[in-house]
Structure 1
């Protein structure tokens, strides 16, 4: 396990312990859509097929407006790297599925302080994205996990169906350094962006 990922897990666990308060826990599960923009740089194009995924989160509010969200999500999209021919150098390309895991923590701000059943919110934070090509090998051996630090921003709406159960529609955006491809040894060396809308249920304790 990478040092980056271990550090993120420690931060998430510490945050949960620090901010959790009685009767203010929320645990959620969702279906996500994952849309990564095409990145171009250094004669390399990196495109990713849109995909569905799953997510889970823990959220706690330590006042009427302020809270902490700890999230994980998983998807398995197809990544394509392509470099066109330049002079005597032939064109190279590869397409493969990549397990993508998100581990992030975010500050949450409710736009309403009342106990209304409809609660819009904003969030911002950071964490890590882990990219693991499925069963691929490069000329130097197995292709392992690449961890990238990421910034997170977004918002959404909580609709309370009862005092315990609610529906959450949410958007999160991730900004990170685009991962290199170890199979063809190509990198765009640019910033990547993933848009992640989601819809799910949450339970309050």
Structure 2
């Protein structure tokens, strides 16, 4: 399935200080945040291309209420160290999009408290309002929030294109496993260059 500009949005998943930066909460609890840094350049290129092509840009942020009343199992039971370091708390630097990818005027930012960008958010009503049926998905982490979002997109009959070199995972093997699963059942796996070619302005007609 080809990538198009029409009826398409770029979805940038969870490119936040807490995941990406050395002073973020993932680094504080000993996660190899450096493994996520390679997604930054690809995301930046895609965001710039989307703005140039008139493709809507939608960011998600993984954000918890400051008292973690909406946190569920992940930071309270499965990885309690997250709560101990106030990971991704609403209003904190940790929860903000990294400076390199700061949203531009007109971009949309959606907060979520679970891996899927669809679960309990206003993403689907926004996509419906914009007439979006195809998503180009980038961000972190491939095996958790990106894959869960792609699965939910596919189950809702959106055309989901996950971008191999604009996503990253703490474990490179899980990155590859996630991409294999997505490409097998839930959508397509593409490269940044493929998106750029699809979104490039057409050549002017001769004559």
TM range, smaller chain: under 0.3
Bigger fraction of residues in strand: 1
Bigger fraction of residues in helix: 2
RCO comparison, higher one (Cα < 8 Å, 6+): 2
Larger Cα Rg: Structure 1 or Structure 2? 1
Using structure 1 for the length normalisation, give the TM-score: 0.25
Using structure 2 for the length normalisation, give the TM-score: 0.25
